Copies of this chain bind each other. A is one copy, B any other.
Amino acid sequence: MNIEMIRAANARLDGHVRRTPLLSSPFLDEIAGRRVWIKPECLQHTGSFKFRGGWSAVSGLDPEARARGVIAFSSGNHAQGVALAARRHGVRAIIVMPSDAPQTKIDNTRALGAEVVLFDRAKDDRNAICARLSGEHGLTLIVPYDNALVIAGQGTCGLEIAEQAASEGITQADVIVCCGGGGFASGIALALEADAPGLRVRTAEPEEFDDMARSLVSGRIERNSRLSGSLCDAIITPQPGELTFPIVSRLAGPGLVVSEDEALHAVALAFSRLKLVTEPGGAVALAAALFRAEEIEGEDVIVTISGGNVDPDVFRLALDRFGS
């Protein structure tokens, strides 16, 4: 895994990925006590940065493998990213989803052209289903973060951040990245190491699901004690990846952790101050910039918003609690 793979992914994504802008608001600067710059990947195709990794993985396959199609498991953003990338390449995609996933996510994944195979979390073995389908149909499995092509795709967002920061005159800053398995954080960290060495990745996670922050402290991969019950569902994973953790560990500063309420507050502020729809998991980096200011250094801070695929009920909850 290296910067040349990210640059190659960037060439493959050119003309297909959306180059998201760098936003700001004087109201957020005031809360944070420094200038806050926002990279809104909720505006990316399919509503999250996952389209970058999906496109990178599908486009990076050798033509014969690609023609046979791809398979992925995901209940959310990765599913949609891979589905759209496959459809635009004109190849088959099977997405294995839990039968209790939100109906809208199942519907969206189907609408993006994927064949959805549902499984029962209690009874079925997801990996066995993927292995069987992959073998039967010759499909290539695209895992959500521990895959070099996927990490390279997510890293293209880091190349954009490096360029946009330079054009704003920012040479030193923390770049806070919403963190699940670490694909987004490790890709961005590698891109910044090469193109903007004064910018340093900081991961952001919700309380009780802070496996990356604890792993960064202990120096080895730590697990979460549970995997459900968070409004930040988009970034809940069992543990940092085997590929991603060494990169994040080498390049990132200490992990940041916010409460679920702080994530919801950030969702409400992104609504009123940025006019962006964010999901709670996608807003934890913004929450860290606003509510963990004392743990951050420098006059500027850059935050990623990783996604905006939020249920209306959860969005209403954020507005009810923090929207006035």
Contacts and interface: CB of A to CB of B under 8 A. Distances in A.
Interface of A: 18-21, 23, 26-27, 40, 42-43, 47, 84, 108, 111-112, 271-272, 274-278, 308, 312, 315-316, 319, 323-324
Number of copies: 2
A272 B107 CA distance: 13
Contacts of A275: 40, 42-43, 47, 276-278, 308
A19 to B, nearest CB: 7
A309 B312 CA distance: 19
A160 to B, nearest CB: 12
A20 B18 contact: no
Contacts of A324: 312
A61 B139 CA distance: 64
A19 B22 CA distance: 10
B19 A21 contact: yes
25 contacts: A18-B23, A20-B21, A21-B21, A21-B43, A23-B43, A26-B84, A26-B111, A26-B112, A27-B108, A40-B275, A42-B275, A43-B274, A43-B276, A271-B277, A271-B312, A271-B315, A275-B276, A275-B278, A275-B308, A276-B276, A277-B277, A312-B319, A312-B323, A315-B319, A316-B316
Nearest to A282: B275
A271 B26 CA distance: 23
Nearest to A15: B167
Contacts of A108: 27
Nearest to A113: B26
